[in-house]
């Protein structure tokens, strides 16, 4: 990508007050359900010819030589160079999958694992799930006997190590998109360093789209002699197909980047030559707002007789797959495409024809405050690395322009890279996994970026309170080990395991499954009132958990009908997914002999069971009109998407998570009794707190 072109100044869009409201998406780290699809400009060629057109093909023999001669190969390659789909095939063709061995490829995102596996299966003329397969949470599409190239999430790789600590079936493991530095990518990196010391034959490929390769190489290099010829790790760069990108900055900051995004888009459309536009925003609600504003302005422009039309398309994690795939559809020459996206468009997609990028300069990340023990989603300035990734989207198929909605001075102040998730997350799930893998002294674990000590202490305290660790910080039997086996937050796992004792395992299974799904309620921008009326039919005064239980039970009662979902503004695919997740969780409860029981419509056992898992997330209503956390008096508010919002506030509540915009908002909130906190978590709370 070309360096920023001098101090070029861009026009200053309007300065109306901020229009950013609370995001309504249940966002998982790294936009985990995003589709990863690469546009293929050589679709008319045979598959073999297509493979040979990719930049990585020229380095095929060099890659195989380095894998043969070094334990770890770090590959820097831009999105679209072919590393994800081709390198596993080169390894298979060179014999790395002989004698029953497997080449594994990890992805940070679930749907990335599925879509890349599908592409590789197509290229090999194989049925997906046979020679080429994938394994993600709640969905294993592999054949233990036949699968030789296996795509999986980094979290699933860590889970596999619970059964096979040395990963004996794998000959090569490729950690793809390692630059994203998700929690489980970093755990996998630390674990694989330990495995390599015991398995000199295991080869590791770390693939990254950014220039942090030296850190990965040095971390895995086991040569302590000072002689470079004895290095066990090496770096290789794959040049992508890139074109120069001119960068434009604002002369002064703007208070409302949504309005600026719309104005910038319309100005490009009216003044610039052909080329599609990609605009980056922070979340689903912002994307939908800007899409609506652009559609309105495009219609007004069409009425003035402008011949070139705009086709405006959203792109974010919670969007159904058919809607996501619309961004790749060709449009006539008389139409300019505008894609309004979250940061999933930074490295996960390459769309032909993007000539203009508009960068709002912000991103939504998960952040954990060990002082308050609150983990929340927060909008923060992007890093320089992310800003450059965004700009590079305009230079994939042609030279392009990037309009940054901030000043050059502000760009220089941005952090060099995004803080790894390991240093800004609640570490309870991490510590639980490491303990289950037999790593007792987690403080000495080889973290690529060590987490804050206070975060570790908070996590140990929570796991002790949940009964997962004993007073010596050892995993308890059987509870701790069982909590670790659930592919869920430890609080959900504890709630599920206790559900038999409360006589409501059927209801809790449904609630836990529903809480894993994004955006069950569909709110079309032009039908907000009708949607709200339908959604109120399911709402109960106890709060969001029982409301979600009502939605699912009504869905089942109406034979899981998509028509019924449409009439009630419910996410049909999300509810189908919830039923799949529920079945998987049910299998775990059967294995752990949790009794199958229903509370038969009595809400109290269900609410008490929720408290048994989520007691640490409790808050009390305060005379100021806000809630305050019980342990450290932190101010919280009920999220506008909650059924308890704008109702008479319950005195005590528990919640699933917190998101931060102008305030800290609790999401998925349920009313509880204070006596339940004392009864079910006496070790965590005491009378008078």
Contacts of 428 (CB under 8 A, 6+ apart): 459, 462, 463, 489, 490
Give residue limits of the domains in the chain. Answer: 9-16+242-422, 37-238, 431-485, 487-680
Question: Nearest CA to 639 among 610, 671, 669?
Answer: 669
Q: How far apart are CA 619 and CA 477, in angstroms?
A: 31
The torsion angles phi and psi of 340, rounded to 5 degrees, stand at -105, 115
> For residues 433 and 320, which has the higher predicted lDDT (pLDDT)?
433
Say whether pLDDT at 314 is over 50: yes
pLDDT of residue 384: 94
pLDDT digits (tens, 9 = 90+) for 266-313: 999 999 988 999 999 998 889 989 999 999 999 988 888 887 899 999
Please state, in angstroms and as integers, the Cα–Cα distance from residue 98 to each residue in 161, 169, 288, 636, following that order. 22, 11, 49, 57
Measured at the alpha carbon of residue 317, what is the angle toward residues 312 and 321, in degrees to the nearest 5?
70
What's residue 137's pLDDT?
A: 83
Given a contact cutoff of 8 angstroms between Cβ atoms, the answer to whether 348 and 35 are in contact is yes
Cβ atoms of residues 473 and 459 within 8 Å: no
Q: From 279, 208, 213, 215, select the one nearest 240 (Cα to Cα).
A: 208
- What proportion of the chain, given as a percentage, has pLDDT over 70? 91
Mean local confidence (pLDDT), 114-130? 92
What's 9-16+242-422's CATH class?
Answer: alpha beta
Average pLDDT over residues 300-329: 82
Paired sense of beta strands 618-621 and 627-629, if any: antiparallel
* 329 Ramachandran zone, left/alpha/beta (phi>0; psi -120 to 50): beta
Is pLDDT above 50 for 9?
no
Pick the CATH number of 37-238 from 1.10.10.10, 1.10.630.10, 3.40.190.10, 3.40.50.300: 3.40.50.300
Tell me what the pLDDT averaged over the chain comes to: 88
Q: Give the mean model confidence (pLDDT) for residues 668-678.
A: 95
Residue 355 has pLDDT above 90, yes or no: yes
The pTM of this model reads: 0.79
Is the backbone of residue 533 left (phi > 0), alpha (psi -120 to 50) or beta? alpha
Dihedral sign computed on CA atoms, order 498, 501, 507, 510: positive
β strands within 565-622, DSSP E: 618-621
Q: Quick check: 83 pLDDT over 60?
A: yes
CA angle at residue 260 from 257 to 264, to 5 degrees? 140
- Residue 123 near residue 40, CB atoms below 8 Å: no
In tens, the pLDDT along 10-66 reads 232 332 332 223 323 344 433 343 444 444 556 667 788 888 888 899 999 999 999
Q: How many helices (H) and strands (E) does the chain have?
A: 23, 24
Report the C-alpha gap between 562 and 225 in whole angstroms: 65
Exposure string over 246-265, b if 16+ CB within 10 A, otherwise e = bbbbbeeebebbbbbbbbbb
Residue 43: its pLDDT value, please?
A: 61
Which is nearest to 376 in space by CA: 366, 363, 389? 366
- pLDDT reading at 86 higher than 60: yes
- Assess whether pLDDT exceeds 90 at residue 79: no
Instruction: Using the structure block, give the residue that is written with the tokens 């939908």.
Output: 288
Checking if the pLDDT of 672 tops 60, the result is yes
More confident: 99 or 306? 99
Please report, for residues 120, 472, 518, 653, the alpha-carbon distance to residue 637 in angstroms, rounded to integers and kept in the order given: 47, 36, 21, 11
pLDDT of residue 366: 85
The fraction of the chain above a pLDDT of 90, given in percent, is 65
What's the pLDDT score for residue 320? 67
Tell me which H or E stretch contains 406.
strand 400-407
Omega before residue 478 within 30° of 0, cis: yes
C-alpha 528/C-alpha 524 separation (Å) is: 6
List the single range of 498-502, 627-631, 675-679 with lowest mean pLDDT.
627-631
* Contacts of 132 by beta carbon, 8 Å cutoff, 6+ apart: 117, 120, 121, 124, 126, 147, 148, 149, 150, 151
| SS3 of 350-363 | ECCCEEEEEECCEE
CA–CA dist 486, 250 (Å, integer): 48
The pLDDT-based confidence of 462 (bands split at 50, 70, 90) is: very high
Helix (H) or strand (E) holding 585: helix 572-591
Residue 321's pLDDT is 63
pLDDT score at 350: 66
| 615: pLDDT strictly greater than 60 | yes
Classify each residue of 196-213 as buried b or exposed e, where b means 16 or more C-beta atoms within 10 Å of its C-beta. Answer: beeeeebbbbbbbbbebb
Please answer whether residues 96 and 164 qualify as being in contact, where contact means their C-beta atoms are separated by less than 8 angstroms: no
**Residue with token string 């990518």:** 185
Mean pLDDT of 645-652: 91
Calculate mean pLDDT across residues 177-191. 92
Q: Is the pLDDT of residue 199 over 80?
A: yes
Residue among 552, 517, 550, 544 nearest 653 (CA): 544
User: CA–CA separation, 638 vs 653, rounded Å?
Assistant: 10
CA distance 374 to 424: 11
The pLDDT tens digits of the residues spanning 546-596 come to 999 999 999 999 999 999 999 999 999 889 989 999 999 999 999 999 999
């Amino acid at each position: 990508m070309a360096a920023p072109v001098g101090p070029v100044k861009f026009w200053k869009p309007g300065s109306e007050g901020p229009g950013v409201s609370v995001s309504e998406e249940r966002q998982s780290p790294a936009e985990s359900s995003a589709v990863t699809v690469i546009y293929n400009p050589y679709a008319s060629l045979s598959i073999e010819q297509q493979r040979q057109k990719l930049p990585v093909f020229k380095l095929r023999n060099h890659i195989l030589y380095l894998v043969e001669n070094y334990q770890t190969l770090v590959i820097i390659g831009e999105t679209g160079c072919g590393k994800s789909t081709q390198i596993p095939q080169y390894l298979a063709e060179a014999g790395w999958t002989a004698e029953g061995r497997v080449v594994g490829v990890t992805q940070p995102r679930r749907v990335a694992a599925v879509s890349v596996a599908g592409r590789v299966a197509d290229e090999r003329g194989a049925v997906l799930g046979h020679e080429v397969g994938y394994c993600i949470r709640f969905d294993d599409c592999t054949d233990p006997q036949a699968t030789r190239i296996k795509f999986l999430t980094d979290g699933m790789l860590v889970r596999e190590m619970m059964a096979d600590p040395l990963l004996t079936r794998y000959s090569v493991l490729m950690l793809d998109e390692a630059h994203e530095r998700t929690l489980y990518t970093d755990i996998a990196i630390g674990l694989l360093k330990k495995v390599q010391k015991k398995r000199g034959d295991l080869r590791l490929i770390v693939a990254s789209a950014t220039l942090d390769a030296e850190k990965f190489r040095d971390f895995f290099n086991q040569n302590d002699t000072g002689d470079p010829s004895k290095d066990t790790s090496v770096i290789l760069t794959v040049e992508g197909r890139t074109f120069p990108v001119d960068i434009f900055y604002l002369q002064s900051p703007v208070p409302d980047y949504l309005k600026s995004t719309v104005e910038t888009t319309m100005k490009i459309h009216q003044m610039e030559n052909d080329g599609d536009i990609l605009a980056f925003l922070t979340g689903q609600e912002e994307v939908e707002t800007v899409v609506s504003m652009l559609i309105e302005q495009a219609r007004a422009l069409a009425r003035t007789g402008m011949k070139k039309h705009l086709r405006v398309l959203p792109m974010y994690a919670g969007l159904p797959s058919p809607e996501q795939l619309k961004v790749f559809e060709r449009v006539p020459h008389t139409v300019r495409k505008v894609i309004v996206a979250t940061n999933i468009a930074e490295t996960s997609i390459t769309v032909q024809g993007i000539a203009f990028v508009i960068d709002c300069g912000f991103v939504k990340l998960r952040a954990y405050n060990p002082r308050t023990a609150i983990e929340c989603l927060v909008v923060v300035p992007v890093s320089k690395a992310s800003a450059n990734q965004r700009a590079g989207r305009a230079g994939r198929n042609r030279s392009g322009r990037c309009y940054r909605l901030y000043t050059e001075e502000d760009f220089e102040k941005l952090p060099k890279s995004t803080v790894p998730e390991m240093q800004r997350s609640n570490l309870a799930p991490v510590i639980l996994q490491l303990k289950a893998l037999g790593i007792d002294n987690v403080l000495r674990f080889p973290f690529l970026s060590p987490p804050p000590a206070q975060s570790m202490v908070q996590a140990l305290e929570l796991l002790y309170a949940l009964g997962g660790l004993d007073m010596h910080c050892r995993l308890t039997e059987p509870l701790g080990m069982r909590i670790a086996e659930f592919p869920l937050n430890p609080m959900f796992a504890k709630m599920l395991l206790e559900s038999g004792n409360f006589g409501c395992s059927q209801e809790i299974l449904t609630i836990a499954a529903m809480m894993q799904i994004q955006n069950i309620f569909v709110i079309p921008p032009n039908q907000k009132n009708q949607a709200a009326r339908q959604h109120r039919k399911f709402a109960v005064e106890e709060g969001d958990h029982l409301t979600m239980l009502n939605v699912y039970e009504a869905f089942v009662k109406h034979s899981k009908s998509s028509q019924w979902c449409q009439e009630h503004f419910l996410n049909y695919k999300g509810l189908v997914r919830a039923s799949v997740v529920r079945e998987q969780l049910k299998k775990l409860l059967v294995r752990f002999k949790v009794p199958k029981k229903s509370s038969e419509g009595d809400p109290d056992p269900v609410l008490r069971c929720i408290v048994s898992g989520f007691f640490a997330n409790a808050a009390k209503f305060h005379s100021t009109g806000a809630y305050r956390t019980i342990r450290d008096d932190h101010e919280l508010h009920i999220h506008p998407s909650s059924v308890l919002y704008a109702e008479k506030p319950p005195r005590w509540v528990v919640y699933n998570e917190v998101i931060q915009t102008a305030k800290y908002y609790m999401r998925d909130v349920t009313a509880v009794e204070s006596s339940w906190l004392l009864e079910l978590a006496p070790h965590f709370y005491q009378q008078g707190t």
